[in-house]
Structure 1
Amino acid sequence: MEGRYSLIHHVRSLLEDEQGTLYKEAPYRVALCYPSPYHVGMSSLGFQAIYREIHEHPGATAERVFLPDDVEAFKRTRAPLFSWESQAPVSSFAMLAFSVAYELELTGLFSMLELAGLPLLAEERQGGRHPLVVAGGPLTFSNPDPLEPFVDVLVQGESEDLIHVLVEAAASMDREALLDHLARTPGFRVPGRGGQRYHVARAMDSRLPARSQIVTSHTELRSMFLIEPERGCSRGCHYCVMRRTTNGGMRTVPPERVLSLIPDHARRVGLVGAAVTDHPRIVELLRTIVDSGREVGVSSLRADRLTQELVNQLRRGGATNLTVAADGASQRMRDMVDRKHSEEQIVRAAEFARTAGMKQLKVYNVVGLPFEGEEDIDELIRFTAELSRILPVALGVAPFVAKRNTPLDGAPFAGIREVETRLERLRKGLRGRAEVRPTSARWAWVEYMLAQCGPEGGLAAMDAWRAGGSFSAWKKAFEGRGCEPYMARRVEDGRRNPTLWPTVPKVAPSASAA
């Protein structure tokens, strides 16, 4: 009992530091679940937006649930997973609604279902004794198929309107009628019963912008009020799920509306979106926020949109580093994926940052794109060294992972050993002239398999989780479930078959990439 009390005490202490927490009694209760810890989940703008939307529904209320920081502590004390607001057992709610951001959060979903005392597989939760298990979130823009074995309903795309449809139907229908109804309703997929696959719903403009409901210091983005001045993107990068063909491209929110929704107590403001600096009035918005005495941050800076004035406003708003994404080891790679940045624009961004008095340039990049060769890595080495003469550089490098529903869907993974070889070439070539921050090639491969496989990929994830979650457990699980990436049976070697991606410019592979 003492152990359980300490878990509850920890949650209550975090609640005391929140501003904007919602409490409401209503007939239909939703446990809004995030399969990562609190400090991550509370930095999710979509999660907070749906929390507010459920509370605005007259017959429903929502309480938050997060993956515990210490899952083993719950197991040791046999404490049931409980909600944040009332510390009620999750199994007592009518619905568990999961927001899943990316593929590797599947294991968090498994842990939360287990701690709630619920069977993982949807087929084992028949008979109406268990809560309805629903999943939505950013993952549904790409490939939610691995979620299918574990959920009763998938909510696909932007959910601000769909959540009202869902709770209204769930509160008024029995389980069987509800599932049949949702299978016929656009935006929903009911595994085994139907629903349009990969249909991505679009919220009404009146629901925009998404914004924080709760501000707390215990998050990845400490005490920052997040708001969305634009949604979507007007660009066509071939690797990106949120490209201009997704949900009609970019929709902007007038600065006047954005400013009117920032609460007086918010001293730090984060502007969040896929292409914030593409907003036609972004400098005006930044200047007004900074002039009000607040700090400000921007989630997505595009080098070709930066000006000295824009960077100066960021510096005035407290930024000490400037972050841009190159997303291609060379100009040839950037051209191939339709990334509209040039070396000159990135150099100019570094010069803007230096002039503004910033301390560091952070550059995000990818390695392992189709047709990439050693000469592309060498170009990245040369260019990064050039940038480092302007300003200290931190180079974030991630292996390329092809996502479903993009022009590079079906592209092969470069290979763990190949990626690690390229990263080592990069480190040796830079010889300390820039800080290299790579993400794991092994876990990128796991993400790739989940991104490119169907429901069998989800079952493999369950097997790997049950086996301890090591990389060798994942490899064995994928093999055991017969997982093959999308189009693997149709194409022997995607690198040598550029017709696999008809919208990608035909770029001849180099000798080292062939």
Structure 2
Amino acid sequence: MEGRYSLLEHVRSLLADEEGTLYKAAPFRVALCYPSPYHVGMSSLGFQAIYRELHEHPGATAERVFLPDDVEAFKRTRTPLFTWESQNPVSSFDMLAFSVAYELEVTGVFSLLELAGLPLLAEERREGGYPLVVAGGPLTFSNPDPLEPFVDVLVQGEAEDLIHVLVDAAASIQDRDALLAHLARIPGFRVPGRGGARYHVAKATDARLPARSQVVTPHTELRSMFLIEPERGCSRGCHYCVMRRTTNGGMRTVPPERVLSLIPDTAKRVGLVGAAVTDHPRIVELLRTIVDSGREVGVSSLRADRLTQELVDQLRRGGATNLTVAADGASQKMRDLVDRKHSEEQIVRAASFARTAGMKQLKVYNVVGLPFEGDEDIDELIRFTTELSRILPVALGVAPFVAKRNTPLDGAPFAGIREVENRLERLRKGLRGRAEVRPTSARWAWVEYMLAQCGPEGGLAAMDAWRAGGSFAAWKRAFEARGCEPYLARRVPDGRRNPVEWPTVPRVAPPEAPPPASAA
């Protein structure tokens, strides 16, 4: 009992530090689940937006659930998974609604279902009066297929409007089969095994914008920061990105006056969040007004070609000590490949702006392992990063390229774990003593790639790997045992790419590779 009491007290202590927590009694109760720990989930603007929307529904209420920091403590003390607001068992709620951000969070879904006492597979929950299990979130913009075996309903795309449709239907249609058949006919919902448009990404009405924080807490990745989106979507066409101009009509901007009106007087730190915040035509004005009000301010996505000295100065006035930009291509040829419209000159200029503003460090995000990338591209990145380091200390974040569904690079192969590791080692050696290199794991990038490019069988493999302990070796065995093949291999039996689906590559491909061709 003592162990169970400590788990409850931990949640209550975090709740006591929150501002904006919502409490409401209503006939239809939703457990809003985030399959990562609290400090991650509470930095998710989408998760917070749906939390508010559910409370605004006249007949519904929502309580939050997070992946415990110590899952084993729940198992050891036989503590049923409980919600934060009331600490009631999750299994007693009418609906479990998961917000899944990216592929590797699928194992968090498994852990939450297990701790709640629910069978993992949807087919095993058909009898017994289990809660309805639904899933949405950023993952549904690309490939939610691996979630299919485990959920009753997928909510695809922006869910601010759909969540009201879902609750209305679930509260009024008591028969489970009739409810699922009804939802399968509504755009934006996919019911595994029953229909619904695949990869239909719903669009929220402008009246629902902007998404913003409901709860502010010091116990999160973005400590005590009120988050709000001055824009949604992106007007650019980067070939690797799910949130590109063809997704939901591109970028929709929110007038600064509305953004400012929604920032609480108590907010001392404000985060402007979106896929392309610095593309907002009035971003400098918005930043200046926030800073002049005495608040700190941060921006989630800085585009080097949009930066000016005035914009960077406002960020510095707002408390920023580092400037972060993304290059997303080891060389200019690689940036051209993915249509990332940044030049070396623009990134150098951004570094100069940061130095002039008195910032301490330039953070640059990049990818390795793009199609047709060679050692010469990595060497160009070494040369250019060295040049940047003469202006300002550089921290280089490097991630292996993972092709996502519903993008122009959909189906591009993974470069290979050994190949990526060799390129990362080449970077480390070339930049030793010149810049800090912060790579992400090539192995786990490959796991992410397999889930991003596979169907429901990928989700079943993830379940097998999770049950086997979750090691990389367990993932490899599970993918093989389930016969998982990336989308390209299933579509093109000989493994050769379909040339009409890849963009023009401004270089000559090696002889053993098929030549690049223009996109359709």
Question: If the TM-score is normalised by the length of the shorter chain, which range does it land in?
Answer: over 0.9
Instruction: Pick closer, same or farther for the CA change 1:505–1:120 going to 2, 3 Å.
Output: farther
1:394 is paired with a residue of what secondary structure? strand
> Measured at CA, do residues 459 and 359 of structure 1 come closer, stay the same or move farther in structure 2, by a change above 3 Å?
same
Going from structure 1 to structure 2, the CA distance change for 1:513 and 1:419 (only over 3 Å counts) comes to farther
Q: Are the aligned partners of 2:411 and 2:497 in contact in 1 as well (CA < 8 Å)? A: no
CA distance in 1, matches of 2:375, 2:493: 23
- Once the two structures are TM-superposed, the CA of residue 500 in structure 1 deviates from its matched residue by 4.2
Q: Shift of the alpha carbon at 1:432?
A: 1.9
Contact 2:298 2:320 in 1 (8 A): yes
- Give the drift of 1:127: 2.1
Equivalent in the alignment of 1:230? 231
SS class of match (1:398): strand
SS in 2 for 1:479: helix
2: CA distance, partners of 1:442 / 1:179 = 38
Name the SS of the counterpart of 1:487 in structure 2. Answer: helix
Residues 158 and 200 of structure 1 are in contact (CA less than 8 Å); yes or no, is this contact kept in structure 2? yes
- 3-state DSSP of counterpart to 2:302: coil
Superposition deviation, residue 489 in structure 1: 3.8
Change (3 A) 1:393 1:513: farther
Structure 1 contact 186–199 (Cα < 8 Å) conserved: yes
Q: Helix, strand or coil: the match of 1:496?
A: coil
Change (3 A) 1:119 1:262: same
TM-superposed deviation, 1:129 = 1.2
**What is the Cα deviation at residue 128 of structure 1?**
5.0
Contact 1:494-1:500 within 8 A present in 2 as well: no
Q: Report deviation, 1:69.
A: 0.2
- SS of the counterpart of 2:183? helix
Whether the aligned pair in 1 keeps the contact of 2:500 and 2:518 (CA below 8 Å) is no
**Structure 1 pair 495–425 and aligned structure 2 pair: CA distance change class (3 A):** farther
**Structure 1 residue 176: Cα displacement:** 1.4
TM-score (norm 2): 0.96
Residues in 2 aligned to 1:463 and 1:395: alpha-carbon distance in whole angstroms: 35
Deviation, structure 1 residue 5:
0.7
**Cα deviation per residue 1:435-470 (whole Å; 9 max; x = unaligned)?**
000000000000000000000000000000000000
8 Å contact from structure 2 (residues 503, 517) kept in 1: no
Distance 1:495 1:380, change over 3 A: farther
Distance 2:517 2:162 in 1: 50
- Distance of aligned partners of 1:504 and 1:162 in 2 relative to their CA distance in 1, 3 Å threshold: farther
**Stretches of structure 2 lacking an aligned partner (at least 5 in a row):** 509-514
Structure 1 window deviating more from structure 2 (424-433 vs 25-34): it is: 424-433
- Measured at CA, do residues 510 and 387 of structure 1 come closer, stay the same or move farther in structure 2, by a change above 3 Å? farther
User: Comparing 486-495 with 332-341, which one deviates more in the overlay?
Assistant: 486-495
Partner Cα distance (2:419, 2:519) in 1: 10
Structure-2 change in CA distance of 1:495 and 1:352 (3 Å)? farther
1:402–1:410 CA contact under 8 A, matched in 2: yes
Change (3 A) 1:136 1:513: closer
Tell me how far 1:492 sits from its aligned partner.
6.7
Asked if the contact 1:18/1:216 (under 8 Å) is kept, the reply is yes
Q: CA deviation at 1:175?
A: 1.4
Report the CA distance between 1:491 and its aligned residue: 3.9
CA displacement, residues 256-277 of structure 1 (integer Å, 9 cap, x when unaligned): 0000000011000000000000
How far does residue 20 in structure 1 lie from its aligned partner after superposition?
Answer: 0.2
Aligned residue for 2:491, secondary structure, equals coil
Q: Say whether the 8 Å CA contact 1:412–1:495 is kept in structure 2.
A: no
Contact 2:500 2:519 in 1 (8 A): no
Question: Aligned-pair distance for 1:496?
Answer: 7.2
1:276-323 deviation line (CA, Å, top 9, x unaligned): 000000000000000000000000000000000000000000000000
Between stretches 496-505 and 422-431, larger displacement belongs to: 496-505
Conserved in 1, the CA contact under 8 Å of 2:332 and 2:344?
yes
Shift of 1:513: 21
Measured at CA, do residues 160 and 238 of structure 1 come closer, stay the same or move farther in structure 2, by a change above 3 Å?
A: same
How many pairs were matched up?
Answer: 513
Say whether the 8 Å CA contact 1:372–1:513 is kept in structure 2: no
Shift of 1:177: 1.2
C-alpha RMSD of matched pairs (Å): 2.3
Distance 1:123 1:338 in 2: 43
Unaligned stretches of 5+ in structure 1?
none
Indicate the percent of aligned positions where both proteins have the same amino acid: 91
Output one character per residue of 1:86-123: Cα deviation in whole Å (capped at 9) or x when no partner: 00000000000000000000000000000000000000
Task: Answer whether contact 1:325 1:365 (CA < 8 A) is retained.
Answer: yes
